[in-house]
């Protein structure tokens, strides 16, 4: 826990000198501790609005060509050190940077007097439009093209290249925020921790970090002002970042981690309460690498496979064969175990280029999740067919569920389509308040429900989950959210359907007890969170969990709910969390 000698984040002193050792407090979203030098992620580069016009087009073009050449040389250097796959991609990107017709396109804008940076931007966008129109392989290169453009823009403007810089050693990656695709492609071997100024406890970056087992703290004030190379100690459990930590601070963090590790050493086997009530402990995964890791762990299976994570950077829809192969690899480690697959939850905070229905005023309330599947049944059917083939070939107990279901008709439509594709078990996520209130009707034609507490909190409290400043409203301990969860569990029980939890709430050991007390039969979370939840369950009986649930739901505020449950839970648990 917090060192009593440290100051609060907003008043934090500079990274070195007399203020060294100060703490910046944020929200811990992925457990674990680590220390290392800061590597800052540069923000995207845009042409400045007040850029002067070009007066000497020839001289300006020479400079632009030099900028593209510098980008090409840098990428070439990286390619020389990269593994095979990355090498191919980087080499193809080098060719884009050296493409003469691209330089010519930029030259045309310069000749018209457009400023250098604006001309680079315009030339790139012209090419992007052409690539997109050509489709196929070319359309897939649009992301690379824009990356080259941003890098050339940074050269022209003399600012750092955007994105995560190449890491040459263990580093703490610090950013204002990270896009899900950026987080997903971080090098796990090099990134020891993630710190962001923005982001929230249920932002997809936070979720990915927890799944990757990288300690992370979000909502850290002034994080982007930390000079690159500053040593920081990151505590993903307490949500703290110690700047220029003393040896004692690093040692104290290490000791706390050791205490926790020792307490969890005996945590093994299926989830059971002290009096023997079974609660399945499952993993949230986002792709093949996660599946391989989770499959090797002491888990009963997967409670949420977020399939859209696999395709975050795909420009075109994955084919039936491509999807089948991926699902086969995901299911293979779980032969004989449960794998709950969620069909594409594209849109809003998880945009997929190939499933874009155009701009919307309010994407979180728009055509996302199952609503998008209704507009693009071709995408859903290809996915279901691929899942069915992979399930048959691997022997995993595959169950399929839909995201963002709001009504009984939607649930019925989805369940029918799942079964028509030869998949035996269909479920829905309960993450829209309307579905939670009517869970008995929504689940009547389905086999199971799974509470998506991240979106349920967002929609119940009318607070954008991407808006880290609204973290208090998004707290799953909010009594209104807990009441809705209770209602949904009672609805499911009335029609005899099991209800799980796959939102982040399931990985909070105290909240997990409350959820089990409300009737939840499975908890799915980042595998790194399972041992502590398992320990929490083993220390409490089902009647004790039910008591904790009634304490939590009768509290007036989120803080009261957490405090009351913490006080009533067993000290062997509360002294660890």
Q: Identify which of residues 431 and 508 has a Cβ nearer to Mg ion in the complex.
A: 431
Query: What are the phi and psi torsion angles at 106 (to 5°)?
Result: -65, -40
Judged by DSSP in three states, 162 sits in coil
Q: Identify which of residues 6 and 558 has a Cβ nearer to ligand PEP in the complex.
A: 558
452 binds Mg ion (CB under 5 A): yes
200 binds ligand PEP (CB under 6 A): no
| Residue 468 Cα to chain centre, angstroms | 14
455 binds ligand PEP (CB under 6 A): yes
Residues 6+ apart with CB under 8 A from 373: 343, 344, 379, 380, 402, 414
Number of residues located near Mg ion, criterion CB under 5 A:
3
Rounded-to-integer distance, Cα 327 and Cα 38, Å = 36
Rounded-to-integer distance, Cα 408 and Cα 446, Å = 10
Rounded-to-integer distance, Cα 348 and Cα 122, Å = 27
508 binds ligand PEP (CB under 6 A): no
Number of residues located near ligand PEP, criterion CB under 6 A:
12
306 binds ligand PEP (CB under 6 A): yes
- Residue 276: count of CB within 10 angstroms of its CB: 8
Binding mask 374-413 for Mg ion (x = CB under 5 A): ----------------------------------------
15 binds ligand PEP (CB under 6 A): no
Binding mask 329-348 for ligand PEP (x = CB under 6 A): ----------------x---
Of 290, 300, 308, 431, the residue at the interface with Mg ion (CB under 5 A) is: 431
Residue by residue, DSSP assigns 34-83 as: EEEEEEEPBPPP---TTPPPPS-HHHHHHHHHHHHHHHHHHHHHHHHHS-
Residues with catalytic function: 204, 502
Minimal distance, residue 477 CB to ligand PEP, in Å? 15
Residue by residue, DSSP assigns 414-472 as: HHHHHHHTT-SEEEEEE-SHHHHHTHHHHHTTSSEEEE-HHHHHHHHTT--TT-GGGHH
Q: Identify which of residues 245 and 452 has a Cβ nearer to Mg ion in the complex.
A: 452
Binding mask 265-304 for ligand PEP (x = CB under 6 A): ---------------------------------------x
Answer whether 463's CB lies under 8 Å from 473's CB. yes
Of 443, 463, 502, 532, the residue at the interface with ligand PEP (CB under 6 A) is: 502
201 binds ligand PEP (CB under 6 A): no
Rounded-to-integer distance, Cα 224 and Cα 173, Å = 10
C-alpha distances in angstroms, 558 versus 19, 118, 202, 552, 571? 34, 49, 16, 8, 21
Answer whether 423's CB lies under 8 Å from 388's CB. yes
Minimal distance, residue 339 CB to Mg ion, in Å? 18
Binding mask 345-384 for ligand PEP (x = CB under 6 A): x---------------------------------------
40-69 binders of ligand PEP (CB under 6 A): none
Q: Identify which of residues 230 and 521 has a Cβ nearer to ligand PEP in the complex.
A: 521
The label of the residue with tokens 């990355």 reads 86
Count CA within 13 A, CB hemisphere, residue 530.
Answer: 31
431 binds ligand PEP (CB under 6 A): yes
Residues 6+ apart with CB under 8 A from 258: none
Rounded-to-integer distance, Cα 549 and Cα 545, Å = 6
Minimal distance, residue 35 CB to Mg ion, in Å? 33
Rounded-to-integer distance, Cα 5 and Cα 513, Å = 33
Pick one of ligand PEP, Mg ion, none as the site partner of residue 215 (Cβ within 5 to 8 A by kind): none
Minimal distance, residue 288 CB to ligand PEP, in Å? 18
Q: Identify which of residues 293 and 455 has a Cβ nearer to Mg ion in the complex.
A: 455
Pick one of ligand PEP, Mg ion, none as the site partner of residue 306 (Cβ within 5 to 8 A by kind): ligand PEP
199 binds Mg ion (CB under 5 A): no
Of 455, 464, 475, 544, the residue at the interface with Mg ion (CB under 5 A) is: 455
Rounded-to-integer distance, Cα 319 and Cα 326, Å = 11
Judged by DSSP in three states, 525 sits in strand
Binding mask 108-147 for ligand PEP (x = CB under 6 A): ----------------------------------------
- Segment near ligand PEP (CB under 6 A); pick from 4-12, 34-42, 251-259, 448-456: 448-456
Minimal distance, residue 343 CB to ligand PEP, in Å? 12
Pick one of ligand PEP, Mg ion, none as the site partner of residue 502 (Cβ within 5 to 8 A by kind): ligand PEP
504 binds Mg ion (CB under 5 A): no
Query: What are the phi and psi torsion angles at 167 (to 5°)?
Result: -95, 135
Where does residue 181 rank: exposed (0-12), middle (13-18), buried (19+ CB within 10 A)?
middle
Of 267, 454, 460, 522, the residue at the interface with ligand PEP (CB under 6 A) is: 454
Rounded-to-integer distance, Cα 490 and Cα 460, Å = 18
237 binds Mg ion (CB under 5 A): no
Minimal distance, residue 172 CB to ligand PEP, in Å? 25
Minimal distance, residue 117 CB to ligand PEP, in Å? 37
460 binds ligand PEP (CB under 6 A): no
310-348 per-residue burial string, b: 16 or more CB within 10 A, e: under 16: bbbebbebbeeeebbbbbbbbbbbbeebbbbbbbbbbbb
Question: Where do contacts with ligand PEP occur on this chain (CB under 6 A)?
Answer: 202, 207, 304, 306, 345, 431, 452-455, 502-503
Give contact residues for Mg ion (rule: CB under 5 A).
431, 452, 455
């Amino acid at each position: 826990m917090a060192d009593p000698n440290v100051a609060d984040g907003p008043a934090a002193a500079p990274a070195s000198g007399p203020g060294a050792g100060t703490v910046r407090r944020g929200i811990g979203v992925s457990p674990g501790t680590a220390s290392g030098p800061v590597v800052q992620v540069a923000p995207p580069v845009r042409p400045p609005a007040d850029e002067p016009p070009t007066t000497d087009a020839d001289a300006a073009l020479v400079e632009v060509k030099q900028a593209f050449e510098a980008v090409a040389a840098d990428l070439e250097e990286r390619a020389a050190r990269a593994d095979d796959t990355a090498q191919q991609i980087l080499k193809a990107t080098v060719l884009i940077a050296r493409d003469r017709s691209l330089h010519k396109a930029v030259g045309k804008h310069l000749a018209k007097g457009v400023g250098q940076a604006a001309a680079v931007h315009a030339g790139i966008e012209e090419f992007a439009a052409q690539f997109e129109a050509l489709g196929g392989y070319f359309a897939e290169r649009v992301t690379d093209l824009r990356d080259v453009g941003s890098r050339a823009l940074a050269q022209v403007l003399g600012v750092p290249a955007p994105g995560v810089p190449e890491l040459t050693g263990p580093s703490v990656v610090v950013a204002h925020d990270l896009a899900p695709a950026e987080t997903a492609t971080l090098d796990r071997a090099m990134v020891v921790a993630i710190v962001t100024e923005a982001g929230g406890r249920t932002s997809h970056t936070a979720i990915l970090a927890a799944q990757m087992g990288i300690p992370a703290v979000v909502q850290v004030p002034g994080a982007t002002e930390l000079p690159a190379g500053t040593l920081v100690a990151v505590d993903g459990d307490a949500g703290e970042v110690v700047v220029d930590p003393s040896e004692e601070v690093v040692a104290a963090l290490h000791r706390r981690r050791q205490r926790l590790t020792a307490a969890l050493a005996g945590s093994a086997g299926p989830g059971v309460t002290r009096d023997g009530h079974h609660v399945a402990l499952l993993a949230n995964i986002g792709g093949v690498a996660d599946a391989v890791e989770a499959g090797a762990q002491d888990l009963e299976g997967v409670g949420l496979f977020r399939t859209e994570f696999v395709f975050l950077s795909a420009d075109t829809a994955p084919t039936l064969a491509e999807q089948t192969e991926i699902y086969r690899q995901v299911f293979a480690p779980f032969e004989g175990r449960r794998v709950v697959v969620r069909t594409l939850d594209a849109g809003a905070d998880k945009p997929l280029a190939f499933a874009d229905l155009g701009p919307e005023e309010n994407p979180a309330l728009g055509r996302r999740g199952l609503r998008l599947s209704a507009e693009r049944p071709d995408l859903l059917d290809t996915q279901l067919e691929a899942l069915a083939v992979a399930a048959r070939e691997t022997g995993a107990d595959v169950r399929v569920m839909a995201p963002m279901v709001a009504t009984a008709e939607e649930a019925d439509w989805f369940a029918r389509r799942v079964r028509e594709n030869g998949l035996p078990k269909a479920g829905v996520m309960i993450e829209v308040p309307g579905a939670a209130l009517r869970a008995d009707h929504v689940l009547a034609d389905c086999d199971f429900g799974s509470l998506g507490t991240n979106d349920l909190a967002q929609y119940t409290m009318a607070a954008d989950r991407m808006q880290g400043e609204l973290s208090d409203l998004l707290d799953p301990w909010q009594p209104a959210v807990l009441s809705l969860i209770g209602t949904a569990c009672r609805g499911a029980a009335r029609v005899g359907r099991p209800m799980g939890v796959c939102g982040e709430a399931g990985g909070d050991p105290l909240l997990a007890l409350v959820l089990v007390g409300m009737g939840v039969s499975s908890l799915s979370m980042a595998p790194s969170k399972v041992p502590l939840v398992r320990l929490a369950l083993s220390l409490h009986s089902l009647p004790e969990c039910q008591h904790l649930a009634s304490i939590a739901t009768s509290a007036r505020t989120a803080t009261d709910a957490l405090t009351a449950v913490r006080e009533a839970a067993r000290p062997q648990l509360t002294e660890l969390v």
